[in-house]
């Protein structure tokens, strides 16, 4: 073998080795991809029925929205708490757990970074997406105390936050209330009588704050509506350090814990066996049939504890004024989207999918 031929052979075997190696790497990648796809189809990290149902979407065969499915799971759970492992999320409808998160161990359940990351562009440093002492109200109070000016971004955050806090929530509740009144004309008639009875004793025809406050039945109707259709269906917090909830559920640091007002309004163990029924009288258990509020940990429609909704009373008064004004003069009948049953749709604030077409008739 001469020197020239020897070099050629060496070059050939080097090339062959490179091609062989490339083929090997390619084959390993194909096998790895195949294995990953195979494993992905089998979800080996969690094969529990909840995770499977969530990932395959099979829950949608029996339920029209995710909230109804969660409500079903929570009703079946002895503790009123379930885990969706693939989401790293614990969902609870247990009032003791809600009190633990929103009051007893409030500092251990902040809003958390994941929520702020998702909604940061929309809400900025507004009320819904920040925790602890950096929230909008704390900053506002600090700026007042120190006499410091507020900038444009800060004002934008206030406007967006209040629009979201006070507009979409109230309009969501007003939509569902007319949906329920349409199905329950006797309730609308009782509201009408209550408003008329109050008017007889008044000298002015103007609706006053005192008059609205005296409408216990209407107050009950509004609360019963939000029990079944809470404008904020669920609320998430992120656990800061490992914790054990009062029902014994262990939550690790970083885990998402969600309390679910929509499901809580549908728990027989909280509201009794007729929990699915729209029955305003359940709130009228005070002397002479007056309204009695429920603990906010059992009815966290406005959240509860240290960060309870600041617009709660205003929202109820606003809704009362609108509902009474409409009901006194009109019958509102839901006609639906081409005759279809209205579908309650989850979201940051709930709505009726596609809107709620109605026919309005003067009474």
Any contact of residue 101 with ligand HEM (CB under 6 A)? Answer: no
Q: Which residues contact 177 (CB under 8 A, 6 or more apart)?
A: 221, 222, 225, 319, 323
Q: Applying CB under 6 A, what is the total number of residues that bind ligand HEM?
A: 22
Torsion angle of C-alpha atoms 131, 137, 138, 139, degrees rounded to 10: 100
**Residues 284-323 interacting with ligand HEM (rule: CB under 6 A):** 301-303, 307, 309-311, 314-315
Any contact of residue 127 with ligand HEM (CB under 6 A)? Answer: yes
Given the complex with ligand HEM, which of 231 and 342 has the nearer CB atom?
Answer: 231
The residue written with tokens 């020197």 in the block is 3
Q: Mark residues 228-267: x for contact with ligand HEM by CB under 6 A, - for none.
A: ---xx--x--------------------------------
Q: Smallest distance, Å, CB 232 to ligand HEM? A: 4
Give the Cα separation of 272 and 77 in Å (integer).
Answer: 16
**Residues 131-160 interacting with ligand HEM (rule: CB under 6 A):** 135, 137
Is 29 one of the annotated binding-site residues?
Answer: no
Please work out, in degrees rounded to the nearest 5, the angle formed at the alpha carbon of residue 118 by the alpha carbons of 117 and 119. 95
Any contact of residue 169 with ligand HEM (CB under 6 A)? Answer: yes
Q: Are strands 243-244 and 235-238 parallel, antiparallel or unpaired?
A: unpaired
Q: How far is CA 214 from CA 225, 250, 307, in A?
A: 19, 45, 28
**Beta carbons of 91 and 252 less than 8 angstroms apart:** no
Q: Smallest distance, Å, CB 319 to ligand HEM? A: 7
Any contact of residue 173 with ligand HEM (CB under 6 A)? Answer: yes
Which 8-state DSSP code applies to residue 278? -
The binding site for ligand HEM (CB under 6 A) comprises: 127-128, 135, 137, 162, 165-166, 169-170, 173, 231-232, 235, 301-303, 307, 309-311, 314-315
């Amino acid at each position: 073998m001469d020197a020239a031929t020897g070099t050629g052979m060496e070059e050939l075997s080097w090339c062959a080795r490179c091609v062989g190696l490339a083929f090997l790497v390619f084959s390993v990648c194909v096998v790895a991809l195949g294995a990953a796809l195979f494993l992905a189809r089998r979800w080996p990290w969690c094969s529990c029925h909840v995770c499977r149902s969530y990932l395959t979407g099979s829950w949608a065969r029996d339920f029209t929205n995710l909230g109804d499915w969660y409500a079903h799971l929570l009703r079946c759970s002895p503790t009123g708490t379930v885990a969706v492992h693939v989401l790293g999320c614990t969902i609870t409808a247990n009032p003791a757990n809600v009190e633990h998160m929103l009051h007893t161990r409030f500092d251990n359940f902040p809003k958390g970074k994941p929520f702020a990351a998702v909604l940061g562009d929309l809400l900025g440093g507004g009320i819904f997406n920040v925790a602890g002492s950096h929230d909008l109200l704390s900053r506002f109070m600090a700026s007042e105390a120190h006499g410091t000016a507020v900038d444009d971004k800060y004002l934008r955050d206030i406007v967006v936050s209040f629009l979201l806090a006070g507009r979409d929530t109230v309009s969501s509740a007003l939509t569902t209330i007319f949906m329920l009144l349409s199905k329950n004309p006797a309730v609308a008639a009782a509201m009408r009588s209550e408003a008329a009875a109050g008017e007889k004793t008044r000298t002015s025809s103007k609706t006053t704050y005192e008059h609205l406050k005296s409408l216990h039945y209407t107050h009950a109707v509004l609360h019963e509506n939000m029990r079944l259709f809470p404008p904020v269906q669920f609320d998430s917090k992120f656990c800061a350090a490992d914790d054990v909830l009062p029902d014994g559920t262990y939550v690790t640091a970083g885990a998402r814990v969600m309390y679910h007002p929509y499901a809580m309004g549908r728990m027989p163990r909280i509201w009794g066996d007729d929990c699915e029924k729209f029955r305003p009288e359940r709130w009228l258990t005070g002397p002479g049939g007056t309204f009695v509020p429920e603990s906010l940990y059992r009815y966290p429609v406005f959240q509860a504890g240290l960060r309870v909704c600041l617009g709660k009373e205003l929202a109820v008064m606003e809704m009362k004024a609108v509902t009474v004004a409409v009901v006194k003069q009109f019958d509102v009948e839901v006609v639906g989207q081409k005759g279809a049953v209205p579908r309650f749709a989850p979201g940051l604030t709930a709505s009726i999918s596609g809107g709620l077409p109605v026919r309005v008739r003067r009474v």
